[in-house]
A and B are shown apart, each in its own frame.
Chain A
Amino acid sequence: MKKKKSFWLLIVLMVSTLIFAGCNSSTSGDNGDEGGEADEGSTGGTLVFGRGGDSTSLDPAITTEGEAFKVTKNIFETLVEFGEQDTELHPGLATEWETSEDGLTQTLKLREGVKFHDGTDFNAEAVVFNFERWMAGNKEQFYYYNSQFGDKVDSVTAVDDYTVEVKLNTAIAPFYKNLAMSPFGIASPTAIEEHGDKFLENPVGTGPFKFQEWKRNDRITIVKNEEYWDEDLPKLDSVIFRSIPENSARLNALASGEVDLIDGVNFSDVQQIEDNPDLQTFERPTMNVAYVGLTNTRGPLQEKLVRQALNHAVNKEEIIDAFYAGAADPAVNPMPPVISGYNDEIEDYPYDPEKAKELLKEAGYEDGFEMELWAMPVPRPYMPDGQKIAEALQADFAEIGVKAKIVSYEWGTYLEKANNGEADSFLLGWTGDNGDADNFLYVLLDEDAIGSNNYTYYKNSEVHDLLLEAQATTDQAKRDELYKQAQVIIKEDAPWIPLVHSRPILAGKSNIKNFLPHPTGSDLLSHVEVSQ
């Protein structure tokens, strides 16, 4: 009897396994069919985008995290938009914009006939509603609004249905560049009121894609917005963002066809991808800088001559060849050359160990000295492998008699300690938010930023005055001039060794067309096509 029982159990198990297997294959078959039908028209289809982390929020206004913007960029639109691969300004939800003589009144004409995903109308009232929402919150809630606009916005009013007027109490030179940043995507007032705190899970914007589903730590699905104001867009039927934290695992997922497009490719894997005819690589235009911070308040690094000597000691070209697969340019200034105001007349300290030794001698460190060199424990697009780059620098420094001890901490501790000025020299970098010089020079090297992002404790009152003046100047040519002057002084003071501006690498299947990675790291996918 017992035997018979177990026999039947086995049969039941086998049958149920078959049924479940059948379910699986039939669902995947359905997906395939859908894809097949859509592909006949050469547009449509699904793109699976593999990335390093999940979003923390789908409401762009309340987050600062890059992974979040990658998704919201496609759901929400901003009043003005960046160019396809640069940070020039183009019409977005506003078609025209104007700044008054004194720079204190900004007038925007809005696009007509645009609807939010929930069917409500986009108009001046909606824009005012969004501004009022941001203004009502504090820095913890709306970090970017408070850091970019803060108290400088007096009022936002709807002049008529499609005209908005923003009154400022202080001129904000990069006003429109700021507005083009992903956090200022315009959200549906109805949806915000309806969902309240849950809006971050139920985003409703005007963008080319509508939100469909979010499985935490796994995937986010967005689907084509059939009512999109530009009838030709988007080309894809849907996009799935999948999180695969490990770089090599993500690349494997691409190679095995599990995903179509990935970011965060190790530079050392580029060759392998290019050798594979089924795959292609994409370079994200650079808007970052990697640097060695020389904490200006510590030991021999207090001396300008010593800092200049260390600048002469580093062979940037070799580092780029070895660890960036050539996909980077040597950095001269603390901001990338694509940004307006970049001073291209400044020459870099050439790689010259002899000159470096002379400078050390002049500073009274003929026999060199010992210092700590902190290596970043995590890979970043601007710094693919902190440990190895530190090791290369260690050898460079050793050549001029400076003994560097490589130290590393867990990432949070690393930043905290470096911020406290506890590191002698340290590796770090910065990716720009809005393509404005202020977002590099003021944020990273002004004395006001000591304790936030000025980790080197660099302090120069001349630079401070220039940067503050530039913030309040609306004439772009004049601003550029101020920033250029500041860069000259910074170069002379040498608070950093600027290392490289890298071009982060993405990879995708070879059938992906029109994918243009954006320097800010948030890619608009409305033009992307997947062909068969």
Chain B
Amino acid sequence: MEVSVNNKPPIQPKNNEDKVQSPWVEALQSFMKNKIALVGTGIVVFFILLAIFAPFIAPQGINEQNMANRLQAPSAEHWFGTDDFGRDIFSRVIFGARISLWVGFLAVMGSAVVGSLLGIIAGYYGRWIDTIISRIFDIMLAFPSILLAIAIVAVLGPSLQNALIAIAVINIPNFGRLIRSKVLSVKQEEYIVAAKAVGMKNNRILFRHVLPNSMAPIIVQGTLAIGTAIIEAAALGFLGLGAEAPNPEWGKMLSDARVLLIQAPWTMIFPGIAIMLTVLGFNLMGDGLRDALDPRMKN
């Protein structure tokens, strides 16, 4: 057992009333000054709220088929028009936010956790463990990511859950490599050397000191990756390898609307805009976070 001395990592002082502000507060301040990043955050928050309150916002059920009302252009009653089953596209797009955000968050969470773990191990222990893990990452990165995702889904069978797993898997090396390089540099810092010198165990050094000091790039990469994950989920849905009917997954809605492009363009436009906006939101937010948390990346 270890005695609880000072649990906090050295760069996170307890109170920020000191003249020397915590880097996190500094980052927040710089983020708040970045208007574009705030717009991105606004979009993301907007979609998150949509997803949470979908049942209250959506005027109709997502699977209420009404063939008499099929392929109606946008109107006061159906803001985004109806699809070829007479379902309200507005309601479906709103519920689609749930699916896309859920897939985006969970997939990125999964790849961030697994990727970071592997990255820390590779970076900290080095030697043959590093070689093995890094080569596996290299192999995975050599595949076009969507192709790898398709292969994984093909093996597991098409479903939303498996699409999520596939997206998580293909993003692991991105996180892993990032963390590994960060760990390599953090490892050389004096406080780590000091921790080693006082006999701290590897686990504790890793999770108490190395990991917290490597968090910034994970957060940046994570935010950006959610945007990519949403696009990847939509691509799998479009290929019929993601969400199952009748789920209103945006990519699947696009694919269903493909044959109606000329006849009823609204069936394609609105899910498309929804994908574009969410991804844009996450990208802007991610860029802002990177500028704030990783000043060296700034131009």
Question: Which of A's residues lie within 8 Å of B, judged by CB?
Answer: 248, 266, 268-269, 271-272, 315, 318, 321-323, 385, 387-388, 390-392, 394-395, 398, 405-406, 408
Asked if B24 is at the interface (CB within 8 A of a chain A CB), the reply is no
Cβ-based interface call for B213 (8 A):
no
A334 to chain B, nearest CB (A): 25
Query: In the bound complex, do residue A391 and residue B263 qualify as a contact, i.e. CB atoms below 8 Å apart?
Result: no
CB-CB under 8 A for A388 and B263, given A395-B85, A405-B244:
no
Is the contact region of chain B dominated by helix, strand, or loop, or is it mixed? loop
A391→B245 contact, CB < 8 A: yes
Q: How far is the CB of A495 from chain B (nearest CB, A)?
A: 25
- CB pair B263 A318 closer than 8 Å: no
- Residues on the A chain within 8 Å of B246, using CB: 391, 394-395
Distance of A271 Cα from B263 Cα, bound (Å): 8
Q: With A268-B84, A271-B263, A272-B262 given, name 20 new contacts (CB 8 A).
A: A248-B259, A268-B259, A268-B260, A268-B263, A269-B262, A272-B263, A318-B67, A322-B67, A323-B84, A385-B259, A387-B240, A387-B245, A387-B256, A388-B85, A390-B245, A391-B245, A391-B246, A392-B85, A395-B65, A395-B85
Q: Can you list 19 A-B pairs, Cβ within 8 angstroms, ordered by A?
A: A266-B259, A268-B259, A268-B263, A269-B259, A269-B263, A272-B262, A321-B70, A323-B84, A390-B245, A391-B85, A391-B245, A392-B85, A394-B245, A394-B246, A395-B63, A395-B246, A398-B63, A406-B245, A408-B240
Complex contacts, B85 vs chain A, CB 8 Å = 322, 388, 391-392, 395
CB distance from B282 to the nearest CB of A (A): 30
Within 8 Å CB of A394, what residues of B? 245-246
Chain B residues, CB < 8 A from A406:
244-245
Shortest beta-carbon distance from A372 to chain B in Å: 11
Contacts of B244 in A (CB 8 A): 405-406
A406 to B256, CA, bound (A): 15
Give the chain B neighbours of A318 by CB distance below 8 A. 67
Asked if A388 and B240 make an inter-chain contact with CB atoms under 8 angstroms apart, the answer reads no
Q: Which of B229-271 contact A (CB under 8 A)?
A: 240, 244-246, 256, 259-260, 262-263
Q: B292 → chain A, closest Cβ, in Å?
A: 45
Q: Complex: how many Å from CA A391 to CA B245?
A: 7
What separation, in Å, do the CA atoms of A321 and B85 have in the docked complex? Answer: 11
Give the dominant DSSP class at A's interface: helix
The docked-state distance in angstroms from the alpha carbon of A331 to that of B234 is 37
For chain B residues 3-39, which have a beta carbon within 8 Å of chain A?
Answer: none
Give chain B interface residues in 75-98, CB to chain A under 8 Å.
84-85
Please give, as numbers and ranges, the residues of chain B lying within 8 Å of A392 by CB-CB distance.
65, 67, 85
> Which residue of B63, B256, B262 is within 8 Å of A388 (Cβ)?
B256
Contact present for B245 and A322 (CB under 8 Å): no
A407 to chain B, nearest CB (A): 9
Name the distance in Å between B161's Cβ and chain A's nearest Cβ.
13
CB distance from A369 to the nearest CB of B (A): 18
Q: Which residues of A contact B67 (CB under 8 A)?
A: 315, 318, 321-322, 392
Tell me which of B85, B245, B259 has the highest count of chain A C-beta atoms within 10 A of its own C-beta.
B245
Q: Mark B42-68, 1 if CB is under 8 A from A, else 0.
A: 000000000000000000000101010
Nearest Cβ on chain A to B63's Cβ, whole angstroms: 6
Write out the residue numbers on chain B whose beta carbons fall within 8 Å of the beta carbon of A272: 262-263
With a 10 A CB-CB cut-off, give which of A266, A268, A390, A398 has the most chain B CB atoms: A268
Once the chains bind, are A388 and B65 in contact (CB under 8 Å)?
A: no
Task: Point out the residues of chain B lying under 8 angstroms from A395, CB to CB.
Answer: 63, 65, 85, 246
Q: What are the 4 closest A-B residue pairs judged by CB atoms, nearest first?
A: A318-B67, A395-B65, A391-B245, A406-B245
A322 & B70 in contact (Cβ 8 Å cutoff): yes
Chain A residues near B256 (CB-CB < 8 A): 387-388
Q: Give the docked Cα–Cα distance between A321 and B69 (Å).
A: 11
Nearest CB of chain B from residue A526's CB, rounded to whole Å = 35
Flag if B263 contacts A322 (CB, 8 Å): no
| Residue in A closest to B260 when the chains form the complex, CB atoms | A268
| Chain A residue contacts of B63, Cβ below 8 A | 395, 398
Distance (whole angstroms) from the CB of A220 to the closest CB of chain B = 29
Q: Which residue of B lies closest to A387 (CB)?
A: B245
CB distance from A390 to the nearest CB of B (A): 7
Smallest CB-CB separation from A390: which chain B residue? B245
A271 to B260, CA, bound (A): 11
Tell me the smallest distance from the CB of B69 to a CB of chain A, in Å: 11
Q: How far is the CB of B31 from chain A (nearest CB, A)?
A: 44
Bound: A409/B85 CA distance, A? 23
- Chain B nearest Cβ from A320, distance in angstroms: 10
Chain B residues closer than 8 Å to A269, beta-carbon distance:
259, 262-263
CB-nearest residue of chain A to B71: A322
CB distance from B114 to the nearest CB of A (A): 30
* Distance to closest chain A CB from B178 (angstroms): 38
Chain A residues near B240 (CB-CB < 8 A):
387, 408
CA distance A321 to B70 in the complex (A): 10
CB-based nearest A residue for B64: A395
Smallest Cβ distance from A275 to chain B, in angstroms?
A: 10
B151 CB to nearest chain A CB (Å): 15
**Distance between B190 CB and nearest chain A CB, rounded to angstroms:** 59
Residues of chain A lying within 8 A (CB to CB) of residue B84: 268, 322-323, 388
A248 — nearest CB in chain B belongs to which residue? B259
**Among B67, B70, B240: residue with most chain A CB under 10 A:** B67
Task: Tell me the smallest distance from the CB of A80 to a CB of chain B, in Å.
Answer: 41
CA distance A416 to B233 in the complex (A): 30
Determine the residue in chain A with the shortest Cβ distance to B63. Answer: A395
A315 to B263, CA, bound (A): 24
Nearest B residue (CB) for A268? B259
Task: List the B residue with the shortest CB-CB distance to A321.
Answer: B67
For the complex, give the distance between the alpha carbons of A408 and B84 in Å: 20
Closest A residue to B66 using CB positions: A318
Distance of A266 Cα from B246 Cα, bound (Å):
22
**Which single residue of chain A is at the shortest CB-CB distance from B264?**
A268
Q: How far is the CA of A318 from the CA of B84 in the complex (A)?
A: 11
- Bound complex: CA of A315 vs CA of B256, how far in Å? 21
**Smallest CB separation, B64 vs chain A (Å):** 9
A268 to B263, CA, bound (A): 8
| C-alpha spacing A315/B84, complex, angstroms | 15
Q: Which residues of B have CB within 8 Å of A323?
A: 84
Task: State the CA gap A85–B256 with chains docked (Å).
Answer: 35
- Residues of chain B with a CB closer than 8 A to A385's CB: 259
**A487: min CB distance to chain B, Å:** 29
Shortest Cβ distance from B94 into chain A, in angstroms?
Answer: 19
With a cutoff of 8 Å between Cβ atoms, the chain A residues found around residue B70 in the complex are 321-322
The CA of A525 and the CA of B201, in the complex, are separated in Å by 86
Interchain nearest-CB distance for B245 vs A (Å):
5
